[in-house]
Amino acid sequence: MNRDEVIGGTLIFLLGAVTAYFSLRMPVGTFRTAGSGLFPLGLGILLMGLSLILFIKSWVPSKSMEEKKPKHEVSRSAKQVILFLGAIVLATFLFDRLGYPLMSFLLLIALLRTLGVKRWAYNLSLSLLTATGAYILFVLWLQIPLPKGWIGL
């Protein structure tokens, strides 16, 4: 049994089931006059069917499964991805409040730091330079209405 296949298959099966459930709450109609729910209902059932085939395949031992890949550990790299994504999520959350220039400056500091730019002078100057460049390009030159935030820029 391949653990990744089972996890992926289960999640997709659930998506199929949820789709089918909500489709049944819409008018399904007949094949002659199909309602809004008919097409997504068919897709939900098809997705569940495909997931079941994947389950069956994942239970049948095959050569490729015997040659197992090394187990992924929750390593430094996984932590790095979580921190990286976390910084982006936080920046998006504060986008309206901080405004574009400040958000981009702080986000760049956080992302560079996560990726191993440890020297503060280099990190800060690079972030400042890039955020200023992005501000000039997008806000001043291309006139894109980006959030100004409390600094009003």
Partner 1 sequence: MFESLQHLIAGFGIALTVNNLFYCLMGAVIGTLIGVLPGLGPIAGIALLIPATYNLNATSAIIMLAGIYYGAMYGGSTTSILLNVPGETASVITCIDGYQMAQKGRAGPALATCAIGSFIAGTIAILGLVFLAPPLAEAALAFGPPEYFSLMVFGFIVLCNVTGTSLIKSLMMAVVGLIIGTVGLDPVTGVARFTFDSMDLLGGVEFVAVAIGLFGIGEVLANVEKPLEFLEGKVLVPRLRELYPTLEDLKKSFKAILRGTAVGFGIGLVPGPAPVIATYSSYMIEKNLSKHPEEFGKGAIEGVAGPESANNSACQSAFIPLFVLGIPFAPPTAILLGAFLIHGVTPGPMLIGEHPELFWGVIASMYIGNFILLLLNLPFVPLFANILRIPKKVLLPLVILFCLTGMYTVNNSLVDIWMMLLFGGLGYLLRKLDYEGAPLLLALVLGPKLEVAFRQSLMISHGDFGIFINRPISMGLLVATLLFLLVPVFRIILKFTRKGGIARG
Residues that bind partner 1 (CB under 8 A): 4-5, 7-8, 12, 15-16, 19, 22, 26-27, 30-40, 43-44, 46-47, 50-51, 53-54, 57, 72, 77-78, 80-81, 84-85, 88-89, 91-92, 95-96, 100, 104, 107-108, 111-112, 114-117, 126, 130-131, 134, 138, 142, 144-146
β-bridge partners, 34: 29
Shortest approach of partner 1 to residue 27 CB, angstroms? 7
Residue 37 makes CB contacts below 8 A (sequence gap 6+) with 23, 24, 25, 26, 27, 28, 29
Shortest approach of partner 1 to residue 59 CB, angstroms? 14
Nearer Cβ to partner 1 (53/151): 53
Nearer Cβ to partner 1 (144/151): 144
Distance CA 48, CA 59 (A): 17
Residue 130 CB neighbours (<10 A): 14
Shortest approach of partner 1 to residue 150 CB, angstroms? 16
**Cα separations (Å) of 15 from 2, 4, 6, 77?**
20, 17, 14, 29
**Cα separations (Å) of 123 from 7, 100, 116, 136, 139?**
39, 19, 10, 20, 23
Shortest approach of partner 1 to residue 76 CB, angstroms? 10
Assign residue 29 a region: left if phi > 0, alpha if psi is -120 to 50, beta otherwise?
left
Nearer Cβ to partner 1 (116/152): 116
Assign residue 99 a region: left if phi > 0, alpha if psi is -120 to 50, beta otherwise?
left
Shortest approach of partner 1 to residue 67 CB, angstroms? 13
Nearer Cβ to partner 1 (85/153): 85
Nearer Cβ to partner 1 (7/151): 7
